[in-house]
Structure 1
Amino acid sequence: MTRLFNKPSAFASELVQGFVAVHGDKVRQVPGGVVRSTRSEPGSVAVVIGGGSGHYPAFAGLVGQGLAHAAVMGNLFASPSAQQIYNVARVAHKGGGVLLGYGNYAGDVLHFGLARDRLLAEGIQCEVIAVTDDISSAGSDELHKRRGIAGDLVVFKAASAAAESGYEFSEVVRVARHANARTRSLGVAFAGCTLPGAQHPLFDVPPGKMALGMGIHGEPGIDERPVPSADELAELMVAALLKDLPEDIGSVNGQRVAVILNGLGSVKYEELFVVYRCVSQLLSEAGLRVVEPEVGELVTSFDMAGVSLTLCWLDEELERFWCAPVSTPAYRKGAVVLAETLGELAFQVIEQVVIPAASVKSRRSAQCVLQALEMAERTVLQHADELGRIDAIAGDGDHGIGMQRGVMAAVARAREVQALKCGAGTLLRLAADAWADQAGGTSGALWGVALTALGTTLGDHLDPDTALVAEGVRRASQGIMHFGKAQVGDKTMVDVLVPFSQSLCESAQSALELGEAWGIAAKVAQRAAADTAQLRPRIGRARPLAEKSLGTPDAGAVSLSLIINAIEPLLRVGLRAPNLAEETVHG
């Protein structure tokens, strides 16, 4: 368990401060993460990597000459927000474009994709690479659904070495995708990990058992087996990886491979060496030539007891990049020529918030929206533990924590801007940014999308009525399905949001008042959330454990239903502000 911390909520930010204090010769902190503190070649491609904190050395420990130019650091086990990614990428950009690299998890896919769109809109070349090396998370016919685990290092290093050697943007992207296509990993766990302040691990493995296919965020494995001997574990992992060959690899004999035996947090180096002894023998017997193997902690999961094995099937180009020199806080290879240290001005991020003009009615509605967010906050805090318990049955158990972070940040931001006399639309949009920024993860991104859509629809001048709110919720539903790729029946929050939206729209067509319409739709949402218990997840982290989730409702669907029902009494009073003279004011 994690023993040394102050406030659990401050752990992620404080670890960044300490990390930078130690490694200031290589990295500098910026809003959202860290960047190299040394000069890169003007016009070169910037490789920006990232994900949730709790996986050190990934991701911040891999920033430095020869490897990543920057790392975005989300909260513990939660994707960084699109805003954080954008901030870090803007500082890291040197004129040659930005490649964003991350593990293939829904929250990361959403947030990095949104950041990519924003960078492209500003004229910055940008592409993404989602690492998909975990063979346990999907079959060879669904490579795009596989998770990213310790193979992150291989892909990030290949792309970074290509950028360092002067490759242009399209070639750096090609190298990253080629490295990903040739990388395979398999992980196991013997005990779960415990986040700061938590009384119990995110998951449990029965005594004497091993979870096969464990993810680095605490996702349960696909199978449980008796704990093997070191040699038996080596044989299991090597055999599985040699059966899952990249499509362009024919005969195994004579191939050259990069190998990583990775400790996930509490398996000691001495144990890893015992396992690698057999791994090396087995690969040699198969006719493989191992090139510069790595044994140690490279992508961890706090104090998880587990290991993973990674093979990257090298060609001449990938081998050159795998062997290229590196100097980062946590990973070094060969010798690099030290670059010039940059001054403070190179790391400044300028953020300016403008409060648009708003009508008196919209400002009054903003007060009601703030009250609704405060009601949502109280509801989430009351049910956070239960939401985490539901999520842990077939997921990673962090939904309650993520919702708690998100709604608290949204309320704090909403209070700030409401004091500046903003309209309802601006309040919702800025609260959405704060929610997504602090919550991270899939739910953080989706709540950010939903509140942004609702805020954009309400605007800062209109008087919210049933039709306007129904249209905002409809757009929120469309936005979530577009970015999250979920449909009704996939066992997600969409299974509540869509019928809730449809009910509101029907009430709007019948000219019902907002409070009455919301009350009817809230009951629909409550039934829909309960009905998700009978669904099997078809996307997301719970998908590999679909059967395990049967009988339990989806945590995201439940949290949405709880919030919808909690704010119903407030909506009985209404968002509207009648009997006020229409006028325009400026913040």
Structure 2
Amino acid sequence: MTYLFNQPSAFAAELIEGFVAANADKVRQVAGGVVRSTRSQPNTVAVIVGGGSGHYPAFAGLVGQGLAHGAAMGNLFASPSAQQIYNVARAAHNGAGVLLMFGNYAGDVLHFGQACERLRAEGIACEVLAVTDDISSAGKDELEKRRGVAGDLCVFKAACAAAEAGHDLSQVLQLAQHANQRTRTFGVAFSGCSLPGASHPLFEVEKGRMALGLGIHGEPGIKETDMPSADELAEIFVERLLNELPADIPQAEGQRVAVILNGLGSVKYEELFVVYRRVAQLLEAANLQVVEPDVGEFVTSFNMAGASLTLMWLDDQLETLWRAPTNTPAYRKGSVLVAEPLSAAERVESTEEALPAATAESQESAKRVLQLLESVAETLQRNAERLGDIDAVAGDGDHGIGMERGVLGAVEKAREVAARGAGAGSLLCRAADAWADKAGGTSGALWGVALTALGTALGDRQTPDAQRVATGVREAKEGIMHFGKARVGDKTMVDVLVPFSDSLIEAVAAGASLTDAWLKAAQVADKAAQDTAQLVPKMGRARPLAEKSVGTPDAGAISLALIVNTVGDLLKEHSASEQGA
């Protein structure tokens, strides 16, 4: 359990505030995360790392000289939004482009990709790299589908050292890709983690048992076995990793390796040293040369009890990058010259947000849109625990919490801009950014895409009619499928969104009112959501545990059905009141 917190919803924001206060000589806070508080070399590549909070020292603890220039930080176990990543990248940009780095999770891929597109559109050279070191999450023939876990540090370190040495963006990316291709990790867990305010862990491991191949977001392992001794665990780690040589390593014997024995949150350093004692013996017996090993906590899973072993197979270039000095709040290597701090004026950021002019009709429509968002928020709050339980069957169990955070953020922003005279379109677009910011994760990103598409279709000049709304829903569907890459049958919200959109468009084309068309489409959405129970997930964190999810509907599909039904009920009430008047 988590012992020390105030409001669970404020935990991530408060931990960032405290972290910056404790490390002001190295980092400063910006909207969306932290960046260096010291001056970087001009005209050098800025490397931005990031992901959800709850993994400290990753990601904020790795910001500083010789390592990252900034870290985008989402809520607990939730990807930072594209806006957060963009803000951090802009604040850290040194004039020679930006490399965005993150673990290979659907939400991170989506958000970092969107931020990259935005930076490029503004003339800032940008590249992305998703770390894929977790050997348990996909087979050797699907390396691109593997998750990023503790090997993040190896790949980040290589890229950041290359940037610090003055390599250009293409060279930094190439070296990061090389490090990623040569990094492998395998992890285990002895118990799950509990997020602040949660009454139970995201998953449980039976006493005396150990889960193999876990993720770092509360995903359960791929299988369980009896609890080993420390030496037996070391043997499991080394055997698994030596059976997973990179394609360009013909044999293990005689190779050099960087080694990380990583604690996942609740395993004591003393226990890790006992395990590493045997790891070192086994690597020596395999005739491997260990280069500057690290034992401790580097990429954690909040308070999970578990550990992982990472090997990065070195050549001369990677060894130089691995040995390069660094000085961050949580990771130090070698000796670096203390960098010059930024001046007070350089630390100030402007966050002024202008709203487009809107007609009186659109401003009135915006008030109704706000009412719809408030009703959706009530529905999602009532169902947050249920959605989390559905998601926990084969995922990380955070869908309900994420949807609740997202919609509450959207409502807060919608109220703010409505009071400032926003039209319906601008209100939805601003709410979309807030939803993505607060929710994080894949669903946060996709709901941000959906609301932005709908808001763009509605605009700020006219009262939304049935045709305009149906067009907006269709464009939301197309945007989600474009950015999320899911298709019908993949067991995602797309399995509901496609038939809902098709039904809505068909009914509107046949002359139905918006209310009647929406209510008919909502019935279609309900059935489609329940039908996802028979599907096998092909995307997201549930994919490695696909068979476990059969018989349980997709959480994203259920939440979408809840939302469209809530909107339908309110549209029906509005229609009835207008007819009564």
State the TM-score bracket (shorter-chain normalisation).
Answer: over 0.9
User: How far did 1:351 drift?
Assistant: 2.4
Asked if structure 2 preserves the Cα contact closer than 8 Å seen for 1:265 and 1:306, the reply is yes
Matched, 1:222 2:248: no
Partner residue, 2:545: 545
Opposite residue 109 of structure 1, the aligned amino acid is V
Asked if structure 2 preserves the Cα contact closer than 8 Å seen for 1:449 and 1:476, the reply is yes
User: How far did 1:345 drift?
Assistant: 2.4
User: How far did 1:9 drift?
Assistant: 1.1
Asked if structure 1 preserves the Cα contact closer than 8 Å seen for 2:384 and 2:404, the reply is yes
Counterpart secondary structure, 2:4 = coil
User: How far did 1:574 drift?
Assistant: 5.9
How far apart, CA to CA, are the structure 2 residues paired with 1:225 and 1:573? 55
Partner residue, 2:355: 355
Matched, 1:459 2:455: no
Q: Bigger shift: 134-143 or 342-351?
A: 342-351
Opposite residue 551 of structure 2, the aligned amino acid is G
How far apart, CA to CA, are the structure 1 residues paired with 2:115 and 2:231? 44
How far apart, CA to CA, are the structure 2 residues paired with 1:341 and 1:460? 45
How far apart, CA to CA, are the structure 2 residues paired with 1:431 and 1:419? 13
Matched, 1:121 2:118: no
User: How far did 1:51 drift?
Assistant: 0.6
How far apart, CA to CA, are the structure 2 residues paired with 1:193 and 1:345? 41
Counterpart secondary structure, 1:358 = coil
Asked if structure 1 preserves the Cα contact closer than 8 Å seen for 2:496 and 2:528, the reply is yes
Asked if structure 2 preserves the Cα contact closer than 8 Å seen for 1:104 and 1:145, the reply is yes
Partner residue, 2:253: 253
1:390-429 to 2 correspondence within 5 Å? 390-429=390-429
Partner residue, 1:477: 477
Using the aligned pairs only, state the percent identity.
68
How far apart, CA to CA, are the structure 1 residues paired with 2:420 and 2:125? 36
Asked if structure 2 preserves the Cα contact closer than 8 Å seen for 1:325 and 1:332, the reply is yes
User: How far did 1:567 drift?
Assistant: 1.5
Asked if structure 1 preserves the Cα contact closer than 8 Å seen for 2:257 and 2:314, the reply is yes
How far apart, CA to CA, are the structure 1 residues paired with 2:216 and 2:449? 26
1:280-319 to 2 correspondence within 5 Å? 280-319=280-319
How far apart, CA to CA, are the structure 2 residues paired with 1:159 and 1:347? 25
Q: Bigger shift: 410-419 or 512-521?
A: 410-419
User: How far did 1:313 drift?
Assistant: 0.3
Asked if structure 1 preserves the Cα contact closer than 8 Å seen for 2:245 and 2:251, the reply is no
Gaps of 5+ in 1: 580-587
How far apart, CA to CA, are the structure 2 residues paired with 1:512 and 1:465? 11
1:522-533 to 2 correspondence within 5 Å? 522-533=522-533
User: How far did 1:572 drift?
Assistant: 2.6
Deviations 1:271-292 (A, max 9, x none): 1111111111111111111101
1:51-450 to 2 correspondence within 5 Å? 51-450=51-450
Opposite residue 218 of structure 1, the aligned amino acid is G
Q: Bigger shift: 416-425 or 102-111?
A: 416-425
User: How far did 1:349 drift?
Assistant: 2.8
Deviations 1:404-448 (A, max 9, x none): 000001011111111122211111000001100111111100000
Opposite residue 281 of structure 1, the aligned amino acid is Q
Opposite residue 186 of structure 2, the aligned amino acid is L
How far apart, CA to CA, are the structure 1 residues paired with 2:83 and 2:301? 25
Counterpart secondary structure, 1:5 = coil
How far apart, CA to CA, are the structure 1 residues paired with 2:304 and 2:76? 14
Q: Bigger shift: 10-19 or 384-393?
A: 10-19
User: How far did 1:575 drift?
Assistant: 9.2
How far apart, CA to CA, are the structure 1 residues paired with 2:15 and 2:72? 13
User: How far did 1:361 drift?
Assistant: 2.1
Asked if structure 2 preserves the Cα contact closer than 8 Å seen for 1:81 and 1:111, the reply is yes
User: How far did 1:577 drift?
Assistant: 13
Asked if structure 2 preserves the Cα contact closer than 8 Å seen for 1:465 and 1:576, the reply is no
User: How far did 1:299 drift?
Assistant: 0.6
How far apart, CA to CA, are the structure 2 residues paired with 1:352 and 1:371? 26
User: How far did 1:107 drift?
Assistant: 0.7
Asked if structure 1 preserves the Cα contact closer than 8 Å seen for 2:98 and 2:124, the reply is yes
Deviations 1:444-493 (A, max 9, x none): 00000000000000111123222111111000000001101100001000
Distance 1:169 1:575, change over 3 A: farther
How far apart, CA to CA, are the structure 1 residues paired with 2:275 and 2:7? 37
How far apart, CA to CA, are the structure 2 residues paired with 1:180 and 1:346? 34
Opposite residue 527 of structure 2, the aligned amino acid is R
Asked if structure 2 preserves the Cα contact closer than 8 Å seen for 1:134 and 1:184, the reply is yes
Asked if structure 2 preserves the Cα contact closer than 8 Å seen for 1:413 and 1:434, the reply is yes
Asked if structure 2 preserves the Cα contact closer than 8 Å seen for 1:66 and 1:325, the reply is yes
How far apart, CA to CA, are the structure 2 residues paired with 1:364 and 1:72? 36
Q: Bigger shift: 516-525 or 566-575?
A: 566-575
Counterpart secondary structure, 1:259 = strand
How far apart, CA to CA, are the structure 2 residues paired with 1:394 and 1:251? 36
Counterpart secondary structure, 2:34 = strand
How far apart, CA to CA, are the structure 2 residues paired with 1:208 and 1:511? 64
RMSD: 1.4
Counterpart secondary structure, 1:291 = strand
Q: Structure 2-normalised TM-score?
A: 0.98
Counterpart secondary structure, 1:486 = coil
Deviations 1:544-578 (A, max 9, x none): 11110011100000001001101212223569999
Gaps of 5+ in 2: none
Kindly report structure 1 stretches of 4+ aligned residues shifted beyond 4 Å.
Answer: 573-579
Asked if structure 1 preserves the Cα contact closer than 8 Å seen for 2:525 and 2:561, the reply is yes
How far apart, CA to CA, are the structure 1 residues paired with 2:574 and 2:42? 55
Deviations 1:66-99 (A, max 9, x none): 1111111111111111111111100100101111
How far apart, CA to CA, are the structure 1 residues paired with 2:349 and 2:217? 30
Distance 1:548 1:249, change over 3 A: same
Asked if structure 2 preserves the Cα contact closer than 8 Å seen for 1:361 and 1:577, the reply is no
How far apart, CA to CA, are the structure 2 residues paired with 1:309 and 1:201? 23
How far apart, CA to CA, are the structure 2 residues paired with 1:108 and 1:369? 29
Q: Structure 1-normalised TM-score?
A: 0.97
Matched, 1:14 2:14: yes
Opposite residue 210 of structure 1, the aligned amino acid is M
How far apart, CA to CA, are the structure 1 residues paired with 2:347 and 2:257? 38
How far apart, CA to CA, are the structure 1 residues paired with 2:302 and 2:467? 48
Q: Bigger shift: 244-253 or 378-387?
A: 244-253
Deviations 1:197-217 (A, max 9, x none): 111111111111111001110
Deviations 1:5-50 (A, max 9, x none): 1111111111111111111111111111111111111101001101
Q: Bigger shift: 379-388 or 414-423?
A: 414-423
